[in-house]
Amino acid sequence: RDTPFCAAAFKVNPMFGPSSEVLLRMGAISGDVIVKNGEAWRLFSGMWLHGGVLHCLMNVVALLGIGCQLERAHGTLRVGAIYMLSGIFGSIASAMFAPHVLSVGASGAIFGLIGAIVGDILMNWDLREKPCRALLWVCFVSAVQLLVGTMPLIDNFAHFFGFVMGFVSSITFLDRLNKGARCWHTCSRRCFRTLAAAIVFFAFVVGLALLYGIGGVDANELCQACQEISCKEFPWGCTDNGGHCWWTCDQMQNAPAASCGGEAVWPRGANTTQGYVDLTCPPRAGGNASKVRVEPVDLTHWGTDFLGELCKDHCASR
């Protein structure tokens, strides 16, 4: 009751929210932790967390502008199903394309609603007074969310794949509000719904297979440059050497390295680059931080990046 509101430093989390260690303990998405520790529940829990106050407010505005409109037209259950499918599929995409990146947020589910409203506009184009205006509003919200997605703790994989899942799911769940009475109208709607449902099922099967490496296929082999879109320094193209960046993505590139510490130790009196490192690994959900000693280690290039690699290799599996 007497604990004041506390947020991480702006350079660590520019959205006025908690540190990555807190988010990890609360259920943030991390592909390494999900696969190696068997914590598949993170695919669900991560979509209910937010990176901070700014992130939460942006999502609330988007939901008020999009979710209410869909809900009035098609009902809570239909829209809720699209929201859940898009959010979970976005989490799968985040975990398989950026397994070392910590991410949170309902942005994948919200982008699913954006995709659904695109499907709704296309299915009911003749029933809208200004369909072009509606599409422009959708494009504006998408652009804002994509910009927010370049910040740390949020990734654009969930945005893109959530949007695609929302669009395909809308064909399955949403109705043509002015249904044609002819038989071929009914048959075509049912065919499209069946096809869309099959695509949704197939997408989840393929996504989970890539996440868990079934068949030895890595998602990043399919898109080697995709890591670069998950987080961007701002202003874009800046370097942190001169302290000109508002924020950097170094701490987000190697989760759980963002909340991992370590101390390098060289043998006393030994004229060598060999030594050992005592790591402090971040706690798992509901647990405590753990100590890991890594030896022998070539400490020639000891530094933050080297520590991050050690944390990624030796902490994620614990």
Token pair for 178: 């002015």
- Residues present in the chain in total: 318
In one letter, which amino acid is 219? A
Q: Does residue 99 sit in helix, strand or coil?
A: coil
* Cα dihedral sign, 89-68-156-198: positive
223: CB partners within 8 A, 6+ apart? 97
Helix axes 156-173, 107-123, angle to 10 degrees: 40
281: β partners: 290
CA distance 312 to 260: 9
In the set 20, 103, 159, 170, the catalytic residue is 159
CA distance 285 to 283: 6
CA distance 81 to 64: 17
Nearest to 174 by CA among 59, 69, 90: 69
CA distance 165 to 134: 20
In terms of C-beta density within 10 A (0-12 exposed, 13-18 middle, 19 or more buried), how is residue 187 classed? exposed
CA distance 173 to 278: 53
Residue 74 known to be catalytic: no
In the set 20, 107, 169, 259, the catalytic residue is 107
CB count, 10 Å around CB of 41?
A: 11
Residue 107 known to be catalytic: yes
Token pair for 243: 């302290």
In one letter, which amino acid is 86? S
Q: Which residues are catalytic?
A: 107, 159
